[in-house]
Chains A and B, each alone.
Chain A
């Protein structure tokens, strides 16, 4: 016990007796101990994306006593999030995720410091936000953000923990850590648009992000504690068969040569979306409603608005008012995202896309009538 005494003296200054008691099950572990718990308290971690992966990752990092935690997300809680995003409940719908998360997490552990960034991470703010943290956790839901996080972390020599899910499968890795490989060493180029389903259109088993987000938190703790991590390894798990595989991969030093963040890597995530309920409230106000489906679809059912098929969008753009609040709709919410992206690129001031398209609209009309 004698050799623990010097540590213990240090710890007394760092922790209150209440904290020492709170973290006692950690401190009992030889791999954590007083020093490890102190390392956790001195660490700072940024979680990018407070969704399916971010919620459990945050809860465990907060519980573990990571001293400084940032939460970055620009989205509001949507009802369809509640099936898997366990920090949010019915009352939170419509509120900013970072606000609800911060409030809830600060009640979970009052001994840590939480900072909320109510914005999506983008090429303009990434370097500044990331610079404040030791470790970044990629809990985002689109490729643009994932490559952005990689590039920003490489530029700033910050390690990050990757986690991603698809239907019943998940992936986890520790990247850019202690000379290990980066995201681009595993997946050098972003898939072409439409090649891999995006924007949560394909469905996901609610527990899966819970598993993967928790594994990400696990990697963060091990990085801080100096234990073995998934650096240089990709863990892949199938929640149906429960089979896990670990693949190894190596650093390609070329991928460390990044000197700027690419602004053109925008995705549909940049376009803000509006729910059918919100559109219902706005539909009779002074908005420019644009339907980007084909003429035949429009003729069979429409909710008014200007017809401007995405297939021949250019021909219609000049007839639209770029200064008016604009809402774009289509059948499922995919073409409208594309169209909204084009309008934003053309300098339209205020463009949103109807989430779930006219399918969602019809669904709430049935309920409200």
Chain B
């Protein structure tokens, strides 16, 4: 199926979990980020139980420190 990761279309396995996607694209162990699925931030402990659907929009939000 197709999802959007940071606005880019990506082909992934059907019924992938968010955990699998984060592993696949190298975000699983990154600190200072939040993952939003269709504009809702999913905390890491819910990644494994979150199953993605066709055309879901995932966005990696990076913490900024500047001021």
Which one of A15-23, A193-201, A315-323, A343-351 is at the interface?
A193-201
- Does B31 lie at the interface of the complex (its beta carbon under 8 Å from any beta carbon of A)? yes
A249 to B37 Cα, complex, angstroms: 11
A169 to B66 Cα, complex, angstroms: 10
Whether the Cβ atoms of B34 and A186 lie closer than 8 Å is: yes
- Does B28 lie at the interface of the complex (its beta carbon under 8 Å from any beta carbon of A)? no
- B62: chain A residues at CB < 8 Å are 166, 196
Chain B, Cβ-Cβ closest to A165: B66
Interface string of A73-113 (1 = CB under 8 A from B): 00000000000000000000000000000000000000000
- B33: chain A residues at CB < 8 Å are 187, 191
- B44: chain A residues at CB < 8 Å are 188
Number of A residues with CB within 8 Å of any CB on chain B: 42
Chain B residues numbered 27-67 whose CB sits less than 8 Å from any CB in chain A: 30-34, 36, 39-41, 43-44, 59, 61-67
Chain B, Cβ-Cβ closest to A204: B66
- Does A61 lie at the interface of the complex (its beta carbon under 8 Å from any beta carbon of B)? no
A198 to B32 Cα, complex, angstroms: 13
Chain A residues numbered 169-211 whose CB sits less than 8 Å from any CB in chain B: 169-171, 185-192, 195-196, 198, 200, 204, 209
A84: shortest Cβ distance to chain B, in Å? 10
* 11 A-B pairs (CB sep. < 8 Å): A140-B65, A166-B62, A166-B64, A171-B64, A186-B61, A187-B33, A190-B31, A191-B30, A191-B33, A246-B39, A248-B41
**10 nearest A-B pairs in the assembled complex, by CB-CB distance:** A191-B32, A249-B41, A164-B64, A141-B67, A166-B64, A165-B66, A187-B63, A189-B31, A53-B67, A247-B36
A positions within 8 Å CB-CB of B: 49, 51-54, 138-143, 146, 163-166, 169-171, 185-192, 195-196, 198, 200, 204, 209, 234, 236, 245-250, 252
Contacts A164-B64, A196-B32, A249-B41 known; 17 new A-B pairs at CB < 8 A: A53-B67, A140-B67, A164-B63, A164-B67, A166-B62, A169-B64, A171-B61, A185-B43, A186-B34, A191-B32, A196-B62, A196-B63, A196-B65, A248-B39, A248-B40, A249-B34, A250-B43
